Amino acid sequence: MLAKKNRSIVFVFIIILSFVLFGCADKINVQTTFEDPTPSGIHDRNSSTDKHVGFEVIQLQSRNSLRAWISNDISREEFSELNLPLGWFKNQPREAMVDGSRFYKSPFTETNGEFLIGEAFGFNWWHSATVIKTNISLDNENLLVASKVHKYHEIRFYAGSTLTILLSPTKEPYVLISRDADRKQESPTIPTNWKLIEYITPDDLVFMLPEEVLVIRTDNEDSFQGPVSELYGIF
């Protein structure tokens, strides 16, 4: 259990120390575009050869603002070798667990289709989400680490697809959206009174995540997001 506590404590300490010592991170050269930079196409998440893996860096702006930037043109090897300055952090390479998704715009922009893009570290990036609160406590066992994230993110599952649901003690459903592509632990450890459920959707399921979504990380870095109102009352 001590390791679970340390996971969130160390993360918060790094963020605060970076902010206090170095202020906001070096700025990326940001521009606005109305050309959708998000990846297109549908992938087979059950295929062993067609895993959709995304690469994301986090830019520290303040204690309550961490910008997530995604690159479509960086390779896994290039991401692994990427050295970031202080105030920037790598997310793990993330394996998508959905049949399709779409971002409508970058956070805090005014118009659908408006995205912030920029070049940094030799690659092009687009702004997908902003973390506005970290280290949210959800369980007494400190197995879950949650953040509040601002984004405009639509998720799609096709009829017959299996969703993995993390159900809270108050029956709020959180859907598995992505996993650590390099995970060593396949199944997460779930706190008492929480449930892990597999649900086969009988029809196509398309939903918008909440604009300020709760992102829950488990001890194997699975990312459950929600709550998803379209799934209320099913479990």
In tens, the pLDDT along 33-84 reads: 888 877 654 445 554 444 589 999 999 999 899 999 999 999 999 999 999 9
pLDDT of residue 45: 55
Domain that holds residue 185: 2-231
* Direct distance between the N- and C-terminal alpha carbons of the chain, in angstroms, rounded to an integer: 29
pLDDT digits (tens, 9 = 90+) for 183-224: 999 999 999 999 999 999 999 999 999 999 999 999 999 999
- Which pLDDT does position 34 carry in this prediction? 84
How many whole angstroms separate alpha carbon 118 and alpha carbon 188?
35
Per-residue pLDDT reduced to its tens digit, 164-191: 999 999 999 999 999 999 999 999 999 9
CA angle 100, 102, 108 (to 5 degrees): 155
Distance CA 85, CA 87 (A): 6
**What tens digit of pLDDT does each residue of 97-150 get?**
999 999 999 999 999 999 999 999 999 999 999 999 999 999 999 999 999 999
Cβ atoms of 67 and 15 within 8 Å: the answer is: no
Q: Pick the more confident residue, 27 or 198.
A: 198
**Inter-residue contact 145 to 135 (CB < 8 Å):** yes
- Please count the structural domains in the chain: 1
Q: If DSSP states are collapsed to H, E and C, what string results for 50-101?
A: CCCEEEEEEEEEECCEEEEEEECCCCHHHHHHCCCCCCEEECCCEEECCCEE
